[in-house]
Amino acid sequence: MHLLTTSRFTDRSELDRFFQTVDLMQKPHIKGVDPVYQARGKVMAIVKDEASTRTRVSFEVAMKKLGGDVTLLDMDKKSSVAKGETLEDTIRTVSEYVDVLVLRHSEKGAVERAAAKSRVPVINAGDGDGEHPTQALLDVYTMHKEFDGLDGVNIMLVGDLKHSRTVHSLLPLLALYQGVQVQLVSPPDLMLLPEHYGLLRKAGIEPAASSDLKKRISLDPPDVVYVVREQKERRDPGACKRFDYPVMGEEEMGLLPATAIVMHPLPRCGELPVTLDTDPRCAIWRQVRNGMYVRMALLYNLFNNNTFLPSK
């Protein structure tokens, strides 16, 4: 009933059907289905103890576009957490009032603890350096749309892969496609952990890894460059080193095929300069917009058939 990890998607056809629902959200009248009132009378709670712009606003707008309402609880400021209330009691309380609960938390695994206490479906909107399933769904939906399917697509993941929850959630979804190639570019200390490599190897994907972005692009030009920021807040400050952090700049862009795209979950902090936004290969704002439709589709499914996945 909850959506905590993308590992719950094990069937490619399930994902394909989900993407059809996302398409439907963009042209409801053409297909003769009007999603506008699916969430009428329903309330979503967005509960968070960490910063959020896109995830929070797009969930809120998605719920409102389906005719529902939203309440926001910032756990770090004015909630009873400041008086010492546990996450579990906070979640149980909120779940007595609402129909769906979106949780962003700074601790990996907090979403599982919350889901165990919640009376309503919980959506993981990012848990520490754990996962961020709805971001990965919108990322894969974007690739699926830009390339008319993902089979055989060559994807280069660039930056702090060790701490990026969006990357962690992306891997099980990529593993559902045939012939996907994955390349990794990261400073050695910020490379994927063995547990994450395992998600790819299980699907027979053996990623090439390097710390040199230009070299990697020249050697094996990718279809998708997926850049993430350096997640300084997730590292032990005592262990902070100076890294040569990869930047997807003008020169790197010049090495990319004309048909490639560049993606980023945002926020960006210099690793993808704003001057590249006018290049049609820069897909970040298309990604942002798709995020709203993906979240509408999840809620549409939930209020239609009690699950985030489409019915067969």
Selected from 135, 142, 183, 211, the binder of ligand NCD by CB under 6 A is: 135
Whole-number minimum distance, CB 132 to ligand NCD, in Å? Answer: 5
What token pair was written down for 280? Answer: 């049609």
Q: 24 or 292: whose CB is closer to ligand NCD?
A: 292
CA-to-CA distance for 1 and 8, rounded, in angstroms? 11
Binding mask 198-237 for ligand NCD (x = CB under 6 A): ------------------------------xx-x------
Q: Max alpha carbon distance in the chain (Å)?
A: 58
Take residue 300 and report the two structure tokens written for it. 């549409």
Q: Which residue, 139 or 146, is less far from ligand NCD as judged by CB?
A: 139
Residues 152 and 300 sit within 8 Å (Cβ to Cβ): no
Q: Which is nearer to ligand NCD, 6 or 231 (CB)?
A: 231
CB of 126 to ligand NCD, least distance (A): 4
Total residues interacting with ligand NCD, rule: CB under 6 A: 12
**51-90 footprint of ligand NCD as x/- string (CB under 6 A):** ---xx-----------------------------------
Strand order in the sheet with 122-127: 69-74, 43-48, 100-105, 122-127
Asked if 47 contacts 73 with a C-beta cutoff of 8 angstroms, the reply is yes
Residue 309 identity (one-letter amino acid) = L
Among 66, 199, 266, 294, interactor with ligand NCD by CB under 6 A: 266
Does 130 bind ligand NCD (CB under 6 A)? Our answer is no
Q: Calculate the dihedral angle through the C-alpha atoms of 254, 157, 5, 33, rounding to the nearest 10 degrees.
A: 20
* Alpha carbons 195 and 214: distance in angstroms, whole number: 27
Which of 17, 243 has the CB closer to ligand NCD? 243
Among 173, 265, 272, 296, binds ligand NCD (CB under 6 A): 265
Q: Which of 126, 222, 246, 310 binds ligand NCD (CB under 6 A)?
A: 126
Measured from the CB atom, the residue of 226 and 303 that comes closer to ligand NCD is 226
Q: Among residues 48, 105, 132, 144, which is the contact residue for ligand NCD, using CB under 6 A?
A: 132
**232 contact partners, CB below 8 Å, separation of at least 6:** 240
Residues 284 and 166: their CA atoms lie apart, in Å, by 14
Does the footprint of ligand NCD cover residue 166 (CB under 6 A)?
Answer: yes
State in angstroms the smallest separation of the CB of 63 from ligand NCD: 17
Count other C-beta atoms under 10 Å from residue 196's C-beta. 20
How many angstroms separate the CA atoms of 12 and 124, rounded? 21
Q: Which residues pair with residue 261 across a beta bridge?
A: 224
Which positions lie near ligand NCD, rule CB under 6 A?
Answer: 54-55, 126, 132, 135, 165-166, 228-229, 231, 265-266
